[in-house]
Structure 1
Amino acid sequence: MIIRPILTGCCATIAIFASAGAVAHAHSEIVKQNFERTIPNLPGKSLVAVEVEYPPGAASAPHVHAKSAFIYAYVVSGAVESKVNDGDVHVYRAGESWFEPPGASHPVSRNASKTKPAKLLAVFVVDSNDKELTKPVR
C-alpha cells in the first residue's frame, strides 16, 4: 500500500525536526558568574569573572563585549576554539589563555570537541556601570 511509505516518511521527518530542536538547545554554553568586585584603586572599574561551560559540540552565538571590557580568558579544561575580531581562529587547550581588547567582537567561541566538555574562565576589567558584558550580534 502507498499509505505506509507516506506515514513512515512523515514520522521520520517529525523525528528529525524534533531531535534537531533538542540538539540546537543542547548546543549552547552555560555561563555562571563566579566573582564581582569593584576595584578600590581604580575608581569606576570592576573585576568580574564568569565561568563558561561548553558541553560537547556546544558554541556561543557570535557576540560583542562591552566597550569598556578588557578580558583575560583561561581554559580550565578541554579545548576551546576562539576568534577575536578579525584574527585567526585558534584552539586553546587547558592551561592556555588569551586576551580580548575593549569592545572586542567574538564571532567564534566554541568547544573544539564533539565528545568532551570544555570550560573557560573569563575575567573582565570593566566600567562598574557596564552591566551587559556581552551582546549578541544580529
Structure 2
Amino acid sequence: MNARSVIGAVCAALSIAIAMPAAAHDLTETVTPHFEKAIPNIPGKTLKAVIVDYPPGGASAPHSHAESSFIFAHVLSGEIESKVNDGPTETYRAGENWYEPPASKHLVSRNASKTRPAKLLAVFVLDSDEKALTTPIE
C-alpha cells in the first residue's frame, strides 16, 4: 500500500467520523403547527393540532405535556413507538391512535423504523393561556 492510499483512507475515515454527529442530530422530530382555535362553547379552552414528522430512526426527547392538555394522537403514516407515564411501550401503526391525560409524561416517542419516515397528528385540548405544549424532562 502506498502513501497516497493510506492518506486517502485516513481522509475518508475522518470525513465519516466528522459527519456522524451531524447525521445523529438530524434524527430529531419536526413539529409543525397545523391548527389552533378557541373552543367557543368551552370558555378558556383551545384546540391545537400539530403534525410530528419523524425521520427514519428519529425520536423525541422525553418530555411532559402542559398541565391542562388532553391529547389525542393519530398515526398518519409509518409506525410510532410511544410510552406514556407508567404504561407499557406500545407500537402504533398508520390509522391507529391513543390518548394522553393532562400532565402526562411522554417517556418514549419515536419512529419504530430505521428505514422509513413516520408521521403523527397530535391534537391538544388545553387552557387557552398555556403556551408551551411540551417541556423537556431533565
C-alpha displacement at 1:8, in angstroms?
8.0
Q: How many residues align?
A: 137
Matched ranges for 1:10-49 at <5 A: 11=11, 14-49=14-49
Query: Displacement, 1:19?
Result: 2.3
* 2:118 corresponds to 1:118: yes
- Rounded to whole Å, the distance in 1 between the matches of 2:95 and 2:58 is 20
Output the amino acid matched with 1:51. I
Residue matched to 2:64: 64
Extract unaligned runs of 5+ from structure 2. Answer: none
Distance in 2, matches of 1:10 and 1:62, equals 37
> Per-residue CA shift, 1:50-80, capped at 9, x if unaligned?
0000011100011000000000000000000
CA RMSD, Structure 1 to Structure 2 (Å)? 2.0
- After the TM superposition, which segments of 4 or more aligned residues of structure 1 sit over 6 Å from their partners? 6-10
Partners of 1:9 and 1:64 in 2: how far apart? 46
Deviations 1:70-123 (A, max 9, x none): 000000000000000011000000000000000000110000000011000000
* Match in the other structure for 1:91: 91
| 1:133 aligned partner | 133
Give the secondary-structure state (helix, strand or coil) at the position aligned to 2:24: helix
The separation in 1 between residues aligned to 2:34 and 2:134, in whole angstroms, is: 16
| Counterpart secondary structure, 1:80 | strand
CA deviation digits over 1:17-52, x for unaligned, max 9? 422212222100010000000001100000000000
Q: Which amino acid aligns with 2:84?
A: V
Identical columns (%): 59
TM-score (norm 1): 0.90
Residue type of the partner of 2:135? K
Task: Give the direction of change, closer, same or farther, for the CA distance of 1:26–1:42 in structure 2 (3 Å limit).
Answer: same
* Rounded Cα–Cα distance in structure 1 between residues aligned with 2:11 and 2:67: 49
